[in-house]
């Protein structure tokens, strides 16, 4: 479920789905988004194993 869909739920349904109250979630969201952009900006090494390697394991 996307955040846009979750915003439309009642407070009780929102807490049941996410496990936290809406106010706490609203405070967590900017911190999480900043961490995600920082993680993506860092870059790093490329994966040594490609997807093609795992396709032969099926």
Instruction: Quote the CA–CA distance of 37 and 47 in Å, as a whole number.
Output: 20
Q: Is position 58 within any domain? A: no
Does residue 7 form part of some domain? yes
Q: Look up tokens 């929102």; give the residue.
A: 14
d(CA 30, CA 53): 37
Number of domains in the chain: 1
38 assigned to some structural domain? yes
34 lies in a domain?
yes
Query: Which pLDDT score is estimated for 36?
Result: 82
**Contact between residue 20 and residue 28 where contact means Cβ atoms under 8 Å apart:** yes
User: Is residue 18 domain-resident?
Assistant: yes
pTM above threshold 0.75: no
Question: Would residue 51 count as lying in a domain?
Answer: no
Residue 52 lies in a domain: no
Q: Write out pLDDT tens, residues 1-58.
A: 788 888 899 999 999 999 999 999 889 988 988 888 887 777 766 666 655 544 444 4
pLDDT at residue number 6: 86
Helix axes 11-18, 22-42, angle to 10 degrees: 40
Residue 35 lies in a domain: yes
Q: What domain range includes position 21?
A: 3-44
């Amino acid at each position: 479920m996307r955040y846009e869909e979750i915003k439309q739920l009642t407070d009780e349904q929102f807490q049941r789905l996410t496990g936290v109250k809406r106010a706490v979630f609203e405070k967590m969201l900017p911190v999480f988004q900043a961490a995600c952009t920082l993680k993506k900006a860092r870059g790093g090494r490329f994966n040594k194993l490609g997807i093609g390697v795992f396709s032969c394991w099926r």
